[in-house]
A and B are shown apart, each in its own frame.
Chain A
Amino acid sequence: MQRLLNNPDDLVDETVAGFVKAHRDLVHLSPDNARVVVSNFAPKAGRVGIVTGGGSGHEPAFIGYAGRNLVDAVAVGEIFSSPTAKSFADAIRAADGGAGVAVLYGNYAGDNMNVKMAARMATKEGIDVATVVANDDVCSAPTTEREKRRGVAGEIFMWKIGGAKAATGASLAEVQAAAQKAIDACRSVGVGLGPCTLPAVGHPNFAIAPGTMEVGIGHHGEPGTRVELLKPANDVADDMLKIVMDDHALPAGSEVAVLVSGLGATSVNELYVLYDRIETGLTALGMKVHSALVGNYFTSLEMVGATLTVMALDDELKALFDTDCACAAL
């Protein structure tokens, strides 16, 4: 495919450079680390700081969620590759307002290791660090092994709730508990219709045969649970909703927040087509949609496909969800 690129090795640095220029009202680059994007509203004295980070290629995640009452500092990795422990540590330092820092990130081997090492470095310097690991991707492991599930677009809801809780002046333990509650209330699923290509590699890292789709695909092309013939959008939406809601088991009358995100190369029209059917299905199940996000919120380069995330809301989560915030992505 044709791309707008300079040297592929410079892609991440140039992305970050353009991002901080375009959104200078919200964020800036850390003066200490060119792979750390810091909210202009951070750190806030006496408030818990919120940090996340992950590989690049998922824009607007992760940098797009730095802002007011959201993420305070983001560690930026290479494409689909965890940031360094130093970048996570520098993000923690940048977010620290003296009340501790909550690192809210996704369940991947590299991120787990680097966050753990960064947390140890920051703790040695006297910063209290708590972590919450997102594991909302239903198809990446069975319910009985939830700790093995990967984190995907549900992370956005986790950041929103965590950031809102921190804005209330809550303690580190309270912010951690709210973020954990948020991700525990999230279930996500992805469908892939076409692969993506890492620019430095030059060929797709997996194949999806024309006319087929992969149900349960991960954010980096991790294999799904089944490959089947591509169906009309309504049938795909029904499948996605069934996977998420079967795992969720919510009582009728529950209120939910819904996120339908494109994976990078699916038109926004198609995402609304999916959402139309998804909301119809949710209503039929007795769910009440409190809020919906439809668009490219968490992508995978130019993968074709979409993800669905449903978060169950109780009164606390609903109030936090509705907290005013500002960032480039929302």
Chain B
Amino acid sequence: MEDFSSRKLIDLFRLIAVRMSDARRELGALDGAIGDADHGNSMAEGFAAIVRAIAADDDRPPAEVMLLAGQSFLSAVGATTGPLYASAMLAAANGLDGKTTVSAADVAGLVPAFADGIAKRGHARPGDKTMMDAWAPAARAVLEAEKAGLAPIVRLSRARAAAIAGRDDTRAMMAAVGRAASLGPRSLGHIDPGAASAVIIIAALHEWLHAQRPPVPEKAQ
């Protein structure tokens, strides 16, 4: 698989934005159970803001695209979500520093980079019923698959599966940090909306990389 230009990175963010917009209502409903019902709106608007900011210029190196993505997300989204994803993208930008193109392995590497940035900013531990309950297992899955010599697309499919399992596990958790922590035991029985939107991002990374496979030549008639 060829490496990707910054233009393709913009395309990747566009896909995440579309998937987030599709999930706007579903995320809003999850957040309505334990939060303020605006998680769908804020995630959709945050990624839309990224696309607006980065689409203006496709000549920036990948690290700068990622940095601008983080800054525009931070300007659009408040609560803890804004700073956490801004930190995720900043961590990813550091990892892409000096590169002129992005490889498939780099795309898979966005998962551990995002997880690292979020963990450093938010200090949430596994089981706290936050987005980390999806990001942490997904990051581990990428790193383990990488160690096992598996292809980037497989790393991302494992990450997606791990994130989904992590998201579903949040149903049985009691929120310990973040805004749902204010509900204590009342948060039991509900999926964490932050973990749900994390799955959407990770699934979109997988979907996008999957779609970048070289076209299969058509059979001669």
Q: Which residues of A are in contact with B by a Cβ distance under 8 Å? A: 9, 77-87, 108-110, 113-114, 116-117, 198, 200-203, 205-206, 218, 220-223
Q: Which chain A residues border B125 with CB–CB below 8 Å?
A: none
B32 proximal to A (CB < 8 A): yes
Contact indicator A220/B182 (Cβ below 8 Å)? yes
**Interface members, chain B 71-89 (any A CB < 8 Å):** 74-80, 82-84, 86
Q: Which applies to chain B's interface (DSSP): helix, strand, loop or mixed?
A: helix
Contact indicator A82/B78 (Cβ below 8 Å)? yes
Q: Which chain B residues border A84 with CB–CB below 8 Å?
A: 74-78, 82
Contact indicator A109/B80 (Cβ below 8 Å)? yes
Would you give 6 A-B contacts (Cβ < 8 Å), ordered by A?
A78-B36, A85-B86, A117-B86, A205-B35, A218-B182, A220-B179
Minimum distance in angstroms from A94 CB to a CB of chain B: 16
Q: Which of A87, A110, A200 contacts B179 (CB 8 A)?
A: A110
Q: Which applies to chain A's interface (DSSP): helix, strand, loop or mixed?
A: loop
Contact indicator B36/A9 (Cβ below 8 Å)? no
Q: Which chain A residues border B182 with CB–CB below 8 Å?
A: 218, 220-223
B60 proximal to A (CB < 8 A): no
Q: Which chain B residues border A221 with CB–CB below 8 Å?
A: 182-183
Q: Which of B78, B178, B183 contacts A114 (CB 8 A)?
A: B78
Contact indicator A114/B32 (Cβ below 8 Å)? no
A81–B80 CA distance with the chains assembled, in angstroms: 9
Q: Which of B36, B121, B186 contacts A81 (CB 8 A)?
A: B36
A206–B185 CA distance with the chains assembled, in angstroms: 11
Write out, one digit per residue, whether chain B residues 141-162 have a CB within 8 A of any chain A CB (1) or not (0).
0000000000000000000000
Contact indicator B183/A110 (Cβ below 8 Å)? no
A213–B28 CA distance with the chains assembled, in angstroms: 30
Minimum distance in angstroms from B79 CB to a CB of chain A: 4
Q: Which of B77, B121, B183 contacts A206 (CB 8 A)?
A: B183
Once A84-B77, A87-B78 are accepted as A-B contacts, the answer to whether A223 and B183 lie under 8 Å apart by CB is yes
